[in-house]
Amino acid sequence: MTRVLVAYATRFGSTREIASAIVHELNAGGLSAQAVETGSGLVTDDYDAFVIGSPLYGGTWLSSAGVFAAILAERINGKPVALFSVGTLILKSPKRGRGEHTEFIEGLVEVTRSSVGLNVVSDALFPGYFDRANLPWMLRIVDRFVPTPQGDHRNWPEIQQWARSLAPKFDASLANESQPGAEIQ
């Protein structure tokens, strides 16, 4: 049975809930998945595949998720990885939101190339949950000039569908990894 670690960073809990939904779908699909926050002491040797996610603020993940992914790249020897970002910019400007996500993922993959690198088999950007009451006072001022739509914008069917799509990608990558000289297409 493929063991999957779903590691996430969260500021207000929205990404934790998405990670839990991903774990639920992976387990329902016959994998053995568990979610853990990236800041905790994680042992990566016990897992065959990884899902890493974080909110996207100003074009970057929370530092604990980015650092975890970079360190993970050195330890996992090409095991499959899926990455997801959660953000609200996609609501106001879908093109810019997707652009920030893509640019961050590409940068993360490039940074990890100095080691074995991340074997990214899938990535996704999901709209998040926004509550002005959670904002620090400085960001409340910024939000007055460029307001973000308030509320829960997470698309649960989209999240579930993406999570279900990971099992065959993990299986294919792991099958190729076990065959010397095989490349993932």
Whose tokens are 């509320």? That residue is 151
> 35: which 2 tokens?
């979610």
| 183 lies in some domain | no
| 178 lies in some domain | no
| 49 lies in some domain | yes
- How sure is the predictor about 133, in pLDDT bands with cuts at 50, 70 and 90? confident
Q: For the segment 12-61, what is each residue's pLDDT rounded down to a tens digit?
A: 889 999 999 999 999 999 999 999 999 767 778 889 999 999 999 888 99
- Cα 90 from Cα 100, distance rounded (Å): 9
| 180 lies in some domain | no
Full domain range(s) for residue 26: 3-172
| 179 lies in some domain | no
| 26 lies in some domain | yes
- The mean predicted confidence, pLDDT, of the chain is 88
84 vs 175, higher pLDDT: 84
pLDDT value at 181 more than 90:
no
Q: What is the DSSP letter of 11?
A: S
| 185 lies in some domain | no
- Pair type for strands 49-57 and 80-87: parallel
Q: What total of structural domains would you count in the chain?
A: 1
| Mean pLDDT computed over 152-178 | 92
| 118 lies in some domain | yes
DSSP 29-69: TT-EEEEEETTS---GGG-SEEEEEEEEETTEE-HHHHHHH
* 3-state SS record for 94-128: HHHHHHHHHHHHHHHHHHHCCCCCCEEEEEEEEEC
Domain containing residue 51: CATH number: 3.40.50.360
Cα-Cα-Cα-Cα dihedral sign, residues 167, 161, 28, 50: positive
Q: Give pLDDT, residue 178.
A: 62
Q: Give pLDDT, residue 167.
A: 94
| Mean pLDDT computed over 67-79 | 87
